[in-house]
Amino acid sequence: MPRESQARRRARADLIRERLRLTYPDARCELNYSSPLELLVATILSAQCSDKQVNRLTADLFQKYRSAQDYAAAPRAELEDDLRRIGLFRNKARSLRGCCRRLVEEHGGQVPDALGTLTQLDGVGRKTANVVLGNAFGRNEGVVVDTHVARLTRRLALSRATQPERIERDLMALLPQEEWTLWSHRLIAHGRQRCPARKPDCAGCELRTWCPTGQAQGDR
């Protein structure tokens, strides 16, 4: 693709954003939760694990552990056993216990609504913090960059970066802040339904007009 000015890339991003809005008007966070703590826990558990797997697990987990204190006080072996159905359960149990201990000791058991504070918790990186802030608190502090968002952002030539932090900065410069959370939900939906990694449906893609990669593939 010829080098594109930032102004032209922003205009193309606006067209993509509008088409995503029309195509996926009901896109939302796929993790089940009823409180900021539940979303925080579910997001920590979702690392290298599908949302469906996490939702099946948390249906029982959230009945047993109802507060940060419950996780913090849980015996390590018991919490590990409760998480055994998902991958990396030992590491995730350790992160949950450490995270919730800090919530109890430093935040009265409540999930903070500030990016810098959230990322100081065990098991919470920028992506997890953005998920919690955007969905539980309605605060657009950043763009969630998961594997779908990273892959489609490069495929759409909206960023040449490979690191999530760089991709996020590029997207933040292209998109209106009030759309940051919804952009991720809609792009994830598109990645799952129309543009999977192995066999993207370029011919039927709603974004094909503005996708250099899709045009190239579809015109062969």
Reading the block at residue 79, the tokens are: 């919490």
The DSSP 8-state label assigned to residue 112 in this structure reads: P
pLDDT (tens digit, 9 = 90+) per residue, 173-220? 999 999 999 999 999 999 999 999 999 999 999 999 999 987 544 443
Instruction: Give the H or E element holding residue 162.
Output: none
Out of 127, 170, 201, 219, the active site residue is 127
3-state DSSP call for residue 109? Answer: coil
To 10 degrees, the CA torsion angle through 103, 105, 110, 112?
Answer: -60
Number of neighbouring beta carbons within 10 Å of residue 47: 18
pLDDT (tens digit, 9 = 90+) per residue, 2-15? 689 999 999 999 99
How confident is the model over 138-154, as a mean pLDDT? 96
Instruction: Give the H or E element holding residue 22.
Output: helix 6-23
As a three-state string, the secondary structure of 64-96 is: HCCCHHHHHHCCHHHHHHHCCCCCCHHHHHHHH
pLDDT (tens digit, 9 = 90+) per residue, 86-134? 999 999 999 999 999 999 999 999 999 999 999 999 999 999 999 999 9
Q: Give the start-to-end residue ranges of the domains of the chain.
A: 6-27+143-214, 36-136
Instruction: Quote the pLDDT of residue 97.
Output: 97
CATH of 36-136, one of 1.10.10.10, 1.10.260.40, 3.20.20.150, 1.10.340.30: 1.10.340.30
CATH class given for the domain over 6-27+143-214: mainly alpha
Q: Answer whether residue 1 shows pLDDT above 80.
A: no
Instruction: Quote the pLDDT of residue 26.
Output: 96
Active site residue 127: yes
Out of 14, 70, 122, 146, the active site residue is 146
Instruction: Quote the pLDDT of residue 101.
Output: 98
Please tell me the total number of residues recorded for the chain in this structure.
Answer: 220
Active site residue 70: no
Alpha-carbon span 192 to 100, nearest angstrom = 32
Alpha-carbon span 83 to 16, nearest angstrom = 39
Residue 194 near residue 138 (C-beta atoms within 8 A): no
pTM score over 0.85 = yes
pLDDT (tens digit, 9 = 90+) per residue, 27-59? 999 999 999 999 999 999 999 999 999 999 999
Instruction: Quote the pLDDT of residue 214.
Output: 75
Alpha-carbon span 127 to 133, nearest angstrom = 10
